Structure 1
Amino acid sequence: MQDSPDSSHGFRVGQRVHSSGDSRRIGTVKYVGPVEGYSGTWVGVDWDNGEGKHDGSINGVRYFHAKSERSGSLVRAPNLSQGISLLEALEKRYRSKSTSDEEDEMYVLSTSNNRVSIQLVGKDKIQDKLSRFEELTNASLAYMGVSFPGIPYQINTTVPNMKELDLTGNLLSDWKDVGKICGQLPALQALNLSNNLMSPYKSELPPLESISILVLNNTGVDWEQVELFRQSLTAIAELHLIGNNISRVLPMSSSFVQGFNSLRLLNLDDNCIAEWDEVMKLSQLRCLEQLYLNKNCLNSILYPDNGQQNELEATSYKPFQNLHCLLLGDNNIGDLVSIDSLNLFPNLVETRLSENPIADSTSGGVPRFVLIARLAKIKVFNGSEVTPRERKDSEIRYVRLVISRLHANAEEIKQHPRFSELKSLYGIEDERPSTGASGPQTIGSGFLSITLKCVGASMGEKKPLIKKLPATATVGKLKFLCESFFKLKSLKLKLFLQEEGSPLPVLLDNDTSSLMDLGIGNESIILVDEES
């Protein structure tokens, strides 16, 4: 059955609606018309949350195509809302008085489980201030069912000083409506349109010179539409594009994205970018300081060498010249060459690599201390500060780790660009494994002198032990040995590395990692504790 364009009830195909009585249950009209076996007009809706009843067909008759098997419903028109104007939402949000039901909900339970009504101190003053629209500078109208601006020019006269407007989860879809709203709010600086499914537009938006923060998360906007913002959003400083299935960056007129001369933060989290070449198209955004690429599909990082830089259109400007924060969590990065490439970014001091294969030491990745040691300039890693103490400890452990591996394979040094620099910095000498009658032994038979100290509350006083342990001994094996050394058969152990000058010991939480893998050197101290 063909989709009909409209009906006497005013619904039209492509229109955004919400369920009557539930402004968070939002969907798109896919069909308006009769249904076989039933009287009257029905509206076919494809629900955003996927919670419908079918895929658009009933009893073998297809009325529309829903996005999934159970995201569609056929609904009577009175059970749907076409939304309200922006001004109506403002009145409803800030001027309507609490209903008796809402007042009844304002209570606490006494010790005897009885309701005790409460009164918010200063509530009336706050409500009075918010209701004076001419003084209102920030408004949150999330999930209020806003679907159109309202009477022309009334927005400006009603809320002339509006600076921040949150329209998350409404029924807006036409960029012309957005333009009308912004055009009537000359002081508007921040606009959040997240979770409004915006229709593609083919022409430039009206000038929006005052907007500096624009949030378009989960709106269906692709990069071709972003390019149309260039002339309209001349003062844009933050652009958030989370969850829009963006896989390609498509500059309009060159190999690199141009314009956006005030853009400092670009958030592309939770998209589908798989190739680093797409990221490089952003490298000539000269004011860009923060780039968020968490939850994409990136496999590698590559900062261009001198030869590649010569191919850039703006040769006087280094790629990502002013970028100081690059977040890459939850991608597919698994190689150390990519990690080393981060050192080439001129001003990068913060990065995130958590939930990448390279950062998962339980599945072939490397521990935090190795990543910190390889990243020479990083001051914030995976959301936490890299203190001078942690950097020093990490770099020393890293050097010891590399030295232990060089005994088995001298070619290993090629994989560690910072090794010689750090070895010289800390004056660390090679820690050779023991030598037998047949000459130097391999790392597999090299031993480390380790001091073991019991610190568990129920272990009693036990003298520290100094043991010669194979560098290849795993944490799990060492736990087993400690049970025997200290007669701790009934306890479940956990081990910590105590490093000189470090305020807190480091938990050795991966039973499969060897002492060598953890960068534990001669004369290290390991604390033996018990699981709580």
Structure 2
Amino acid sequence: MSGFSSNAKELPQMNSRCRDADGFLGTVLYVGPVASAKKQTEVYVGVEWDDESRGKHDGSVISRETNQIVRHFKCESNSPNAGSFVKPSKLDFGVSFAVTLGDRYVKPDAPLLAPNDKFEGCFARTKSGRGKQVEFFGEKKIRERQQVGDITKVALRGEGVSHAGAQPEELKAQAGHLTEVDLQGNMLWEWEEVGKIINQLEGLEALHLNSNRLMNPVPLPPTLEKAALTGGFTSLTRLVLNKTGIKGWEALATLGDVFPALSELYVAQNDLSDIDIVTATTGGRVEGFSKLKLLDVSECRLTAWSQVKVFGAMEGLETFIVNDNDIQESEEAEEGEFVNLKSLQLSGTKIKDWGAIDNLNSFKELRALRFNNCPVTSTMGASEARGIVIARVEKVEFLNASVVTTKERGDAEKIYVRRVAREVTMQAGGGGEGGGEGDPEKAKAVLRKHPRFEHLKEVHKASMVPLGEGGGTGNLGQDTINVTVQSMAAGSCTMEAIRKRVPSGLQVGRLKQMCKRAFKLDPDLQVLHFRADKGSLMAELGSGGEEDDELTLAYFGVTDGSMIFMNEVDLKAKERERIAEEKRKLEEEGRGKDQEEEMMRMEGIKKMQIDKERRAVGQAAEGK
């Protein structure tokens, strides 16, 4: 393992980091004798391991003397198996940044590993069984590029760095010119040591500290406090603190004066769940970090939009990453909120309603959006979900890192308009023959869920068949279109596509019968999609219901030259969906029953308490 060396003579500090010879990292939570040890005077280190599979217990043991449980420490993760006791000689407590840097980047006058372009005593066995010496060409050229003085960026990931260096100015003389340092996955735990590193690298612009378990910086340690009082570290503009054990916004906000010039701050996989409580005293707005342009709070245990909203006062914020938080909704941006926000990422959130996406139109400068793996799109294909998001968010130019072209937007908006119009028609009672009477109020409710519908219908009316009409002109020649139907079903996907000239008023149900004759697949098992041309989005020919079968090709926007694809219903997937839905309903019923039983139990307890109080009052009155 890289950089492992035991410091057996030194005992570690509480909360410091350690690692064993196999590379497992942990936190020191106890130093001293152990009640279950044979030698009661022998010192052990109580460790909570990052990987609980390395541990054996929760910090408690059975005493050899009393046979009782003795707890020496408690695992912060509350895991029953993350802890163990290890002899200090079996652990490494880290090395200095200065030493690691010197070891990684070889000095010019150091002995060559392959002085004659060959590794001495190093052979590889050939196919014939003979040994061939391993050669190494270009060592000198590689070494020339490994000089610290000639580079501005270094990466020392997982090297066991735990502190700056033994001498105050050791690092400054060696690497004071560095502009970017990556210390991901090391053993740093004190902010004081982080401050010492930054203090000696006067030109440092970017620092990566992700996956270092750092202590709470409140109160600020001496080096950081001094920096905050003297204007802070003004050269540092990018700071990566992902998965560093930050607990609470207060701890993070304390660093605002220390790093006043930050334009990029990454704090993913930390705990900022208290942010709305902390900011209640500041009018619901975060303070500090006034120059931030990018902020990443992915997987920070945020559960409500009110916790996102507090960042709205950051006037310079352009990119906001909120992925993998349990947020279920969004709100419209108020006056003065997120005024310069150009990019927003909401992937992996719990958003379950399209209204949350509609609200993003209030972010006037928003041009890029990441939105996938959310409940509202869970039952859709990627193409279908993408089209709906494009249609609902007016100004988005990049969706999930892909450019939204003018043609893609036009196609998406037309498909969206037809989809909404069909839903409105169904609710209003125009769903086809035998559709029955509709409910105008339900139709209005549908429109309220689609605030851009009327605008988009007006924008595209010239290029679309009038909604609610079959699209016929009365002229048979003008009312027929050429379509190609291709089977994508497993049993017939190798069959040649069929090309037909059909009426634009052909009902979807009739088309399914045509597919049945050509590809031998029952209409109930068919799922039809179409694409106007190769560059267009794929759109459904209905959602599979009987009412959709009565609608026409023109209604869905199938035009001359369109390609129609027949897929087969996945019966197993349908069954899984049905089972999952039944399970969900049972769970809801179970929760409701449990809640009802709990209420009855609480009412019973309350009644007993009231009766008890009444009896006590009665007894007191009799005593008088």
Give the TM-score range, shorter chain: 0.7 to 0.9
Would you say the 8 A contact 1:294–1:329 is kept in 2?
yes
Structure-2 residue corresponding to 1:440: none
Q: Within 5 A, what are the aligned runs for 1:107-186?
A: 122-130=138-146, 132-150=147-165, 151-186=167-202
Q: Comparing 413-422 with 264-273, which one deviates more in the overlay?
A: 413-422
Secondary structure at the aligned position of 2:407 is classed as: helix
Amino acid in the other structure paired with 1:48: D
Would you say the 8 A contact 1:218–1:244 is kept in 2?
yes
Shift of 1:373: 0.6
Amino acid in the other structure paired with 1:485: R
Amino acid in the other structure paired with 2:296: N
Distance 2:541 2:43 in 1: 63
Q: Comparing 65-74 with 290-299, which one deviates more in the overlay?
A: 65-74
Structure-2 residue corresponding to 1:246: 272
Q: Within 5 A, what are the aligned runs for 1:299-318?
A: 299-305=328-334, 309=335, 318=336
Give the direction of change, closer, same or farther, for the CA distance of 1:270–1:512 in structure 2 (3 Å limit). Answer: farther
Distance 1:346 1:171 in 2: 43
Q: Greater Rg, structure 1 or structure 2?
A: 2
Shift of 1:48: 0.9
Shift of 1:211: 0.5
Structure-1 residue corresponding to 2:29: 30
Structure-2 residue corresponding to 1:62: 71
Deviations 1:468-509 (A, max 9, x none): 6666x7xxx98x75651313459x988552214x42662769
Corresponding position: 1:484 with 2:516: yes
Secondary structure at the aligned position of 1:198 is classed as: coil
Shift of 1:127: 2.5
Shift of 1:426: 1.5
Would you say the 8 A contact 2:527–2:544 is kept in 1?
no
Give the direction of change, closer, same or farther, for the CA distance of 1:460–1:277 in structure 2 (3 Å limit). Answer: closer
Which of 249, 253, 260 matches 2:289? 260
Deviations 1:394-415 (A, max 9, x none): 0111111122222223312222
Structure-1 residue corresponding to 2:252: 226
Deviations 1:41-89 (A, max 9, x none): 2211100122212222233433222231111111111110111111111
Distance 1:230 1:342 in 2: 29
Would you say the 8 A contact 1:449–1:469 is kept in 2?
no
Secondary structure at the aligned position of 1:408 is classed as: helix
Structure-2 residue corresponding to 1:216: 241
Structure-2 residue corresponding to 1:237: 263
TM-score by length of 2: 0.70
Structure-2 residue corresponding to 1:459: 495
Secondary structure at the aligned position of 2:418 is classed as: helix
Would you say the 8 A contact 2:333–2:363 is kept in 1?
no
Distance 1:329 1:107 in 2: 51
Structure-1 residue corresponding to 2:459: 425
Q: Comparing 10-19 with 354-363, which one deviates more in the overlay?
A: 354-363
Shift of 1:31: 1.7
Distance 1:343 1:380 in 2: 14
Structure-2 residue corresponding to 1:89: 100
Amino acid in the other structure paired with 2:145: K
Structure-1 residue corresponding to 2:43: 41
Distance 2:268 2:135 in 1: 40
Q: Comparing 370-379 with 405-414, which one deviates more in the overlay?
A: 405-414
TM-score by length of 1: 0.81
Amino acid in the other structure paired with 1:32: V
Corresponding position: 1:273 with 2:302: yes
Amino acid in the other structure paired with 2:52: G
Give the direction of change, closer, same or farther, for the CA distance of 1:366–1:156 in structure 2 (3 Å limit). Answer: same
Aligned-residue identity in percent: 28
Q: Within 5 A, what are the aligned runs for 1:511-526?
A: 521-524=556-559, 525-526=562-563
Q: Which runs of 5+ in 1 are unaligned?
A: 1-6, 310-317, 436-447
Distance 2:85 2:305 in 1: 44
Would you say the 8 A contact 2:387–2:537 is kept in 1?
no
Would you say the 8 A contact 1:288–1:320 is kept in 2?
yes
Q: What is the RMSD of the two structures over their aligned residues, measured on CA atoms?
A: 3.8
Give the direction of change, closer, same or farther, for the CA distance of 1:133–1:503 in structure 2 (3 Å limit). Answer: same
Shift of 1:530: 7.8
Amino acid in the other structure paired with 2:33: P
Distance 1:357 1:433 in 2: 34
Q: Comparing 181-190 with 38-47, which one deviates more in the overlay?
A: 38-47
Give the direction of change, closer, same or farther, for the CA distance of 1:505–1:226 in structure 2 (3 Å limit). Answer: closer
Secondary structure at the aligned position of 1:407 is classed as: helix
Number of residue-to-residue matches in the alignment: 489
Q: Comparing 170-179 with 28-37, which one deviates more in the overlay?
A: 28-37
Shift of 1:338: 1.2
Shift of 1:166: 1.0
Shift of 1:34: 2.1
Distance 1:298 1:373 in 2: 22
Would you say the 8 A contact 2:541–2:556 is kept in 1?
no
Deviations 1:115-135 (A, max 9, x none): 9776565443222332x3333
Corresponding position: 1:321 with 2:339: yes
Structure-1 residue corresponding to 2:374: 356
Q: Comparing 378-387 with 34-43, which one deviates more in the overlay?
A: 34-43
